[in-house]
Structure 1
Amino acid sequence: MNQAISTAQAPAAIGPYSQAVLAGGFLFASGQIPLDPDTGAIVEGGIEAQTHRVLQNLKAVVEEAGLALGDIVKTTIFLDSMDDFAKVNEIYASYFDGGVLPARATVQVGKLPKNALVEIDCVAHRG
């Protein structure tokens, strides 16, 4: 049976979807944008601050399901500009230290919700 995962430590969904769904040992987390869960506003500070906030939000959702960042097996990064790839990559790497790194795709998109600069989703597995 599928289970919706929800935490106040990450922004509430801004549409008709769950923050994440646990299904058969896999966690499918919806894309996180850099919304402050307390204010609902996009964080200020450019791509660096936004990337940290997105990863903190994703971590909160994953942990609510009883998993950890090390359980993530796949991520997708959506960027407003591929010019931010190196900065995002550096920050991303600091959240995944050691072990098997997740498989990943990174794409530039035309526009993200609320004009965010970055969005990341993931799939995690309870091993």
Structure 2
Amino acid sequence: MTEKTAITPPTHTTPPAKFSHGVRKGNILQVAGQVGFLPAVPGQPPTPAGDSLREQTLQTLANVRAVLEEGGASWEDVVMMRIYLTDTAHFAEFNELYDAYFADLKSVPAARTTVYVGLPAGLLVEIDALAVLG
């Protein structure tokens, strides 16, 4: 039986509860929901990348990518992404940012689900991903 391995990039803080930023088991890598926090600074609380959807989306995607890379994956390996937005009015802007970010993706784009949720104050977007390697 293949063991599970916790994945935590050096840019990330310890999760606030008993979960991992990513878990790899065999050729499956699940990235936990990431938000737009800037890279961790030891001894400092997490800081959002900014107040705008653009700033937070780009940082959130960078945080997902960091977990993917730490786990040996890339965007090319992602088969499913879930997007959590706090405001339905952000859907069109998010799609523009998302399409621009993945404009150079060489493989079939991941399947995607978008839902609307409540997030801690000031956070506008959260993203998780499922990658299959090899």
TM-score using structure 1 length: 0.91
Does 1:44 find its partner at 2:40? no
Q: What's the Cα RMSD here? A: 1.4
Structure richer in helix, relative to its length? 1
Distance 2:20 2:97 in 1: 26
SS state of the match for residue 126, structure 2? strand
Q: Alpha-carbon deviations, 1:29-76, whole Å to 9, x = none?
A: 100011112342112141010000000000001000111111110000
- Could you say which structure has the larger radius of gyration? 2
> 2:35 aligns to what?
33
Q: 2:10 aligns with which of 8, 11, 30?
A: 8
Does 1:104 find its partner at 2:118? no
SS state of the match for residue 30, structure 2? strand
SS state of the match for residue 80, structure 2? strand
The 1:21/1:114 distance shift into structure 2, 3 A limit, reads farther
Distance 2:49 2:14 in 1: 15
Identity %: 35
**Runs (4+) off by over 4 Å:** none
Code of the aligned partner of 2:128: D
Cα drift, residue 93 of structure 1: 2.0
Q: Alpha-carbon deviations, 1:69-119, whole Å to 9, x = none?
A: 11110000000011111111122223322311000100111x113441000
Does 1:116 find its partner at 2:123? yes
Distance 2:59 2:37 in 1: 7
Contact kept? 1:62, 1:68, Cα under 8 Å: yes
Does 1:22 find its partner at 2:24? yes
Contact kept? 2:51, 2:122, Cα under 8 Å: no
Count of matched residue positions in the alignment of Structure 1 and Structure 2: 126
Distance 2:13 2:86 in 1: 20
Distance 2:13 2:68 in 1: 13
TM-score using structure 2 length: 0.87
